[in-house]
């Protein structure tokens, strides 16, 4: 571990660059009595959790681990905070019973019935979905509910601090608001005793120490305490209050919250605390280039990625380039699967400095598994997209001929990969394939390939087959400008796509006899 610690001090991998901010913040360690260094991630449970929500926990965990490496194991905590006392502003597009939800607009999410009919509230349902996924990945975190903190009185002293500094907070916020919004803005949102709605009304502080405020609710002037869950703070103020009340040291957030982070940082200082360290990351985009939204349900869901790709491939994709906007759609899954294994393999031949820059090191916390499946995901996708190949057991039969001795029992990772490939091929590749007829000298080249394959034993190596494919493509008699044109012709006439695998490997996996059938169909 000492070798990694020395290398970590120099590493340019982004988790270590982020962790060094905390080392600088606490040069002699966090002062005694303030507890472990606290990492926080925030979650707004107004919509179903998605990968964009999950990535904050994963990336923050990477920074936490990096900090522990740099400090030789300094104590840390990670809090996953759910803002479940927020009022429901609009009905998400991707949930059942939308008419029921509309009758509860404005109420805290924990006071709204679960449209799925499974939990005591809408927030409890979405919180449970988040926790289940985080648990599946084995994250070490503490789930914290905003409602429980407010109603349990844990935020009461911090709320008094907001009332004591009410005007100073207004001085920070009002210049950032449009005139119409500024006219009714209040850092504190009382919860109506009549309707249960989180009110957006002007508030007058009556007694900061007692927590008493005055406001108008449905034409009636009300004096009410904001303590014990009787009010909710506006979210920028709430964010700052939470940083101070919990003692948060690190929290990353998306580029769309850059300005909000500035305002919340100022409010945190007014409340006697300081803004946490953190990274501003770029947003995930859907296939149309639009920001992924929980309420719209666009982009990939957590379950969708895991239907078509491995958990480790998801972690790999999320790790890379957090400050660059990236598409998050089904199109990125296959490449992520294969690149993950490539980085995992290379880790075992790298020295400590290089390992710390390898995504596999961070995904597996330095305990990187050895060995990769004998067949790439891309090659499996080419096989499962062929007619009649959307069956897992059938694919296993081909794989076992290609790599004798492997089985679902000896290679469970490959077994899961085949299941992913069958799902992906059946759902998204096979319906788009369109094989074209060969033209010109392509016909003669395919006939020659058929003759050459017929002369090989069924167990010919991928390398022997590849040499034959190369030789035909280089033969001037067929007039291919370059090998790329020959490969493109093979992909389009045999596989129905413009791109494809290394043909030697594909033919060895799919079988010479089966490949000759494809050629016969193409020559038809």
Q: Give how far Cα 153 sits from Cα of 84, 169, 200, Å.
A: 16, 22, 22
- Indicate the pairing of strand 220-225 with strand 212-217: antiparallel
Token pair in block for residue 485: 């044109």
Site of tokens 């796509």: 497
> Which residues carry a binding-site annotation for ATP?
294
The burial class, CB within 10 Å (0-12 / 13-18 / 19+), for 381 is buried
Measured between alpha carbons, how far is 382 from 399 in angstroms, rounded to an integer? 13
| 256 vs 502: CA distance, rounded Å | 42
User: Please, what is the Cα angle at 198 between 192 and 202, to 5 degrees?
Assistant: 85
Beta-carbon contacts of residue 495 (< 8 Å; ≥ 6 apart): 382, 385, 386, 433, 435
Radius of gyration over every alpha carbon of the chain, rounded to an integer in angstroms: 29
Q: Contact, 274 vs 268, CB < 8 A?
A: yes
How far apart are the C-alpha atoms of 335 and 161, rounded to whole Å?
Answer: 51
C-alpha–C-alpha distance, residues 193 and 201, integer Å: 14
Distance of alpha carbon 235 from alpha carbon 244, whole angstroms: 14
Annotated binding site: 294
Measure Cα distances from 252 to 51, 81, 401, 462 in Å: 15, 13, 49, 47
User: C-alpha dihedral over 294, 295, 297, 301, to 10 degrees?
Assistant: 30
Q: How many CA atoms lie within 13 A of 201 on its CB side?
A: 21
């Amino acid at each position: 571990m000492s070798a990694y610690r020395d290398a970590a001090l120099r590493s340019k991998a982004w988790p270590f660059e982020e962790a060094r901010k905390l080392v600088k913040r606490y040069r002699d360690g966090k002062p005694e009595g303030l507890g472990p260094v606290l990492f926080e991630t925030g979650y707004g449970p107004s919509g179903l959790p998605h990968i964009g929500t999950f990535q904050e926990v994963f990336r923050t965990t990477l920074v936490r681990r990096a900090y522990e490496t740099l400090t030789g194991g300094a104590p840390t905590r990670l809090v996953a905070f759910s803002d479940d006392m927020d009022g429901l502003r609009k009905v998400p597009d991707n949930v059942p019973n939308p008419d029921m939800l509309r009758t509860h607009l404005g109420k805290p999410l924990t006071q709204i019935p679960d449209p799925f009919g499974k939990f005591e509230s809408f927030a409890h349902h979405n919180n449970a979905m988040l926790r289940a996924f985080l648990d599946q990945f084995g994250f070490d975190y503490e789930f914290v509910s905003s409602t429980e903190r407010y109603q349990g009185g844990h935020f009461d002293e911090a709320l008094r601090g907001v009332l004591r500094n009410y005007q100073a907070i207004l001085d920070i916020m009002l210049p950032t608001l449009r005139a119409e919004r500024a006219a009714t803005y209040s850092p504190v949102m009382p919860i109506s005793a009549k309707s249960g709605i989180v009110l957006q009304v002007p508030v007058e502080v009556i007694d900061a120490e007692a927590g008493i405020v005055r406001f108008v609710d449905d034409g009636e002037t009300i004096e009410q305490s904001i303590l014990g869950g009787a009010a909710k703070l506006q979210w920028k103020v709430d964010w700052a209050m939470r940083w101070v009340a919990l003692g948060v040291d690190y929290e990353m957030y998306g580029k769309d919250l850059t300005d909000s982070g500035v305002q919340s940082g100022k409010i945190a200082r007014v409340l006697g605390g300081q803004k946490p360290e953190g990274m501003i990351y770029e947003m995930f985009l859907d296939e149309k280039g639009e920001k992924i939204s929980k309420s719209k349900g666009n982009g990939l869901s957590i379950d969708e990625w895991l239907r078509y790709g491995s958990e480790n491939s998801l972690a790999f994709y999320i790790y890379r380039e957090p400050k660059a906007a990236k598409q998050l759609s089904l199109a990125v899954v296959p490449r992520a699967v294969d690149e993950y294994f490539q980085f995992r393999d290379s880790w075992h031949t790298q020295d400590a400095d290089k390992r710390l820059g390898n995504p596999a090191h961070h995904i597996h916390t330095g305990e990187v598994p050895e060995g990769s499946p004998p067949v790439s995901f891309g090659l499996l996708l080419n096989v499962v997209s062929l007619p009649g190949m959307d069956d897992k057991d059938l694919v296993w039969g081909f794989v076992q001929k290609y790599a004798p001795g492997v089985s679902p029992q000896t290679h469970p990772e490959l077994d899961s990969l085949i299941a992913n490939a069958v799902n992906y091929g059946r759902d998204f590749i096979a319906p788009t394939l369109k094989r074209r007829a060969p033209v010109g000298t392509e016909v003669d080249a395919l006939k020659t390939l058929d003759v050459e394959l017929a002369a090989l034993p069924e167990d010919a190596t991928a390398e022997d087959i590849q040499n034959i494919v190369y030789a035909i493509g280089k033969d001037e008699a067929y007039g291919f400008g370059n090998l790329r044109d020959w490969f493109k012709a093979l992909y389009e006439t045999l596989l129905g796509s413009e791109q494809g695998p290394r043909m030697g490997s594909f033919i060895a996996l799919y079988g010479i006899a089966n490949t000759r059938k494809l050629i016969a169909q193409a020559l038809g």
